Structure 1
Amino acid sequence: ELGSSRLLTMADSTVSRLESSAAYAEKKKLFQLFEKLLQDLLVHKPKDPIAHLISTLKVPEVARVILLGPPGTDLKLQAEMLAAKLNLVHVFAQDICHEAAKAGKPDGVEAKKLIDSGAEVPAALLRKLVLDKLSSKECVRNGWVLEGYPPVAAEAHAMVTAGMMPTTVICVEIDDAEATRRLVGRRIDESESQVYHLTDNPPPNEKVARRCVHREDDKPPRVAERLAAYREAIGPLRKIFATTLKPVDGTPPPEKLMESILPLVTTSLPSRAPRGCPRVALLGGPGCRATDIGDKAAARYGAVAVSAAALLHAASLGDGANAKRLKPFMVDGVPSLDALYVIPDELIMPLILERLGKEDVRKKGFVLEGFPATASQAAALDK
């Protein structure tokens, strides 16, 4: 018997240490850290892995965002707004060409000559300029938002191979009818560098209207070609960026659209690290059916449903001092509607924490129904 008892004590101690280690690894995101370092090594294949890892650990985690969308979604405006709000570097392929040319870089000079002559910049040249820009100190330090690039799967593969993996890919979505309406109605005042739309934002007067031009790219035949090219390219791009791609409805006004984009931007890549058991607090006002929803959620994910109200009810049935202190907050044995808000923390927190510390909850996780109800309770849980 002594031997069995000793074995059980040793087993409990081992389990406790393992659970403590697992909790530490999850809290400090160790799996994600080593996953990121291994990916970085495999992409760059440095001659001195240790020195490279030390250097990598010094690089801050920043957002690396790609904005994609069909013609007519005004990605430029969204990229500018996102860059301003998150202090990211706005990267646009054509601007890079001019920037590199101004700095006297041979690739930039060559690209600018082609642009000025109306010729298309070769994909390989443009790719090199984009990758050089994304590798620059300001982009590494601040993060970047890349507007409308890569246009096709080949360029996306080249980016990923070079280690330029976006943390978020936003795909702004509108249908072809809306894109056509936006583009066909667009007019450009070249003398003032202003963009108007015949219905959404018409020229302010007849004089301005007369000098506005309807670009060939915005006329129906060309618009149809541009949209067809985009639809053909976006499918493979979606597959390449499947783990980081976030579709967004592009029909709202620019400010509302930005409100949809901002919460989707992250500074880290999705991880395949093992996830800990679920720990969910399910809150809601009167009539929200938190208990029903909580029970179903717990069953769905194999967690334990923990009801604050049920714990209070059970505790109030005893004859001890705490049971007597709880009784005024009960109505027919059930906590009153405002009970969780007014019961002293020293009465309710031990009940909650004791239940959450039970072995079944530690192993399976929990869905905590209707709790915490106050900021102090939330702080106690977090602690």
Structure 2
Amino acid sequence: MKIPNALWANLIQERLSNVDCIKQGWILEGFPENQEQAWMLQSSGIFPRHVVVLYAPDTVLIERNSGKRLDPVTEEVYHTTFDWPSDELIQQRLVKPEDLSEEETSRKLLEYHRNFPGVFQIYQKILKSINADQPCMDVLSQVLTYVQTRHRSAAPFTPRIVFCGPPGSGKSLQAGLIAQKYHLVNICCGQLLKEAIADKTKLGELVKPYIDNGYPVPDKLVLKVLADRLNAPDCVANGWVLHGFPRDIEQGEELQKSHSPNRVFFFNLPYESIMERLSQRRTDPVTGERYHTTFRPAPTPVIQARLRQNPRDNEENIEKRVEAYYRNAAELEDFYEDAFYVNADQDPHVVFEFIESCIIKPLPCKKVKSL
């Protein structure tokens, strides 16, 4: 039985949110296999910094696979040419895996060649192809050289971008897309606080009681955590896109003093659209697949019957979150008088193209009044 793409994405997102991945980083191998899976990762907020594609002629790959042998006792994998065990006892019990026949390998290669162009399109700005038909140490050396390099931003200046908008307006998705294309640091304020707690920093220890008890973290603490991140070398060199902060004019004024943004976007979405996007979201607890009662209904009555709603998505909680945003939005909009306004009630690709055009073009020059 094939595992649904959405379930894969959910499992990967859950694993990558663990403390060890947040602190040490991660390597994801064998996924995504197609464009839909790549989009699923992006929708889950997973944006790799480097993508390495190892390639070799199909004849070489078929030959490599056909020589693999499995030890059923230890589950160690050996190879008839490259890694044959010296122990005769091990040699006698080795078996050829069932799914590594030449026909099966050819079928998998055909599927890979069919799906790879879609994956390449998603990750072309951060992808490097490396010839795997050479000694493994040479391959490793090239991979290490690539992943240790910093991408040069394609932006015409060092972007310092802020996204503001109500819940459900697509800030996280657009931040991830912009960060990936221009190699910016994607900073979600809420996630940043969780990372500080996971890292067990002094600030993280101060933040932890507020997060654990569901209380708002004081502005002074948030600003200290945020300042530490924005002062890091990658943010200074590559630029950043920030969402989830500022939420009111006081926070905006404090941010302006230390790390003045040079692009601010306000996402506009009608209240009815917010409700429609969020209140109708459902999750299948069995497969992890996400559905929407209007835009992506469950395919069968059985699945429909077992769908569940996240408590954050009930209408009462959505209303509270929307009211909290609009309580301070007008003052924040006045404060950022050069901000751009985004119609978020349209296709995400259209929204992305508009944001990108505003990043590339220069800000309007303010006219100096003559005395």
Aligned to 1:132: 228
Match of 1:99 among 183, 195, 208: 195
Aligned to 1:349: none
Aligned to 2:269: 174
- Distance in 1 separating the partners of 2:362 and 2:260: 10
- Distance in 2 separating the partners of 1:179 and 1:134: 31
Match of 2:351 among 257, 273, 277: 257
Q: Is the 8 A contact 2:264 2:340 kept in 1?
A: yes
- Distance in 2 separating the partners of 1:273 and 1:120: 41
Aligned to 1:223: 318
Q: What does residue range 142-221 of structure 1 map to in structure 2 within 5 Å?
A: 142-162=238-258, 164-189=259-284, 194-206=289-301, 208-221=303-316
Q: Is the 8 A contact 2:170 2:344 kept in 1?
A: no
Aligned to 1:346: none
Q: Deviations over 1:216-260 (max 9, x none)?
A: 3322222222222222211011111112x0001111111121111
Q: Is the 8 A contact 1:62 1:143 kept in 2?
A: yes
Aligned to 1:319: none
> Residues 147, 205 of structure 1: CA spacing in aligned structure 2 closer, same or farther, 3 A cutoff?
farther
Q: Is the 8 A contact 1:187 1:215 kept in 2?
A: yes
Q: Which residue type is aligned with residue 340 of structure 2?
A: K
Q: Which residue type is aligned with residue 332 of structure 2?
A: L
Q: Which residue type is aligned with residue 180 of structure 1?
A: M
TM-superposed CA distance for 1:61, in Å, is 3.9
Q: Is 1:78 equivalent to 2:174 in the alignment?
A: yes
- 3-state SS, counterpart of residue 265 of structure 1: helix
Q: Which residue type is aligned with residue 251 of structure 1?
A: D
- Distance in 2 separating the partners of 1:124 and 1:183: 31
Q: Deviations over 1:245-280 (max 9, x none)?
A: 0001111111121111110115976654779xxxxx
Q: Is the 8 A contact 1:61 1:268 kept in 2?
A: no
- 3-state SS, counterpart of residue 337 of structure 2: coil
Q: Which residue type is aligned with residue 100 of structure 1?
A: A
- Distance in 1 separating the partners of 2:234 and 2:300: 43
- Bigger Rg, which one: 1
TM-superposed CA distance for 1:81, in Å, is 0.7
- Distance in 1 separating the partners of 2:224 and 2:301: 45
Q: Alignment length, in residue pairs?
A: 214
Q: Which residue type is aligned with residue 253 of structure 2?
A: H
Structure 1, unaligned stretches of length 5 or more?
Answer: 1-59, 276-383
Q: Which residue type is aligned with residue 258 of structure 1?
A: F
TM-superposed CA distance for 1:155, in Å, is 0.7
Q: Is the 8 A contact 2:190 2:244 kept in 1?
A: no
- Distance in 1 separating the partners of 2:347 and 2:223: 32
> Residues 203, 89 of structure 1: CA spacing in aligned structure 2 closer, same or farther, 3 A cutoff?
farther
> Residues 109, 222 of structure 1: CA spacing in aligned structure 2 closer, same or farther, 3 A cutoff?
same
Aligned to 1:16: none
Q: Which residue type is aligned with residue 357 of structure 2?
A: P
Q: Is the 8 A contact 1:97 1:109 kept in 2?
A: no
TM-superposed CA distance for 1:121, in Å, is 2.5
Aligned to 2:340: 246
Q: Deviations over 1:11-31 (max 9, x none)?
A: xxxxxxxxxxxxxxxxxxxxx
> Residues 101, 181 of structure 1: CA spacing in aligned structure 2 closer, same or farther, 3 A cutoff?
same
- Amino-acid identity (%): 28
Q: What does residue range 347-362 of structure 1 map to in structure 2 within 5 Å?
A: none
Q: Which residue type is aligned with residue 331 of structure 2?
A: P
> Residues 84, 182 of structure 1: CA spacing in aligned structure 2 closer, same or farther, 3 A cutoff?
same
Q: Is the 8 A contact 1:167 1:268 kept in 2?
A: no
CA RMSD of aligned residues (A): 2.7
Q: Is the 8 A contact 2:282 2:310 kept in 1?
A: yes
Q: TM-score w.r.t. structure 1 length?
A: 0.51
Deviation beyond 3 Å, 4+ runs, structure 1: 116-120, 188-195, 203-212, 266-275
- Distance in 2 separating the partners of 1:204 and 1:80: 29
Aligned to 2:139: none
TM-superposed CA distance for 1:145, in Å, is 0.6
Structure 2, unaligned stretches of length 5 or more?
Answer: 1-155
- Distance in 1 separating the partners of 2:202 and 2:290: 33
Q: Is 1:232 equivalent to 2:308 in the alignment?
A: no
- 3-state SS, counterpart of residue 104 of structure 1: coil
Q: Deviations over 1:65-104 (max 9, x none)?
A: 1111112212111111111111111000122123223333
Q: TM-score w.r.t. structure 2 length?
A: 0.52
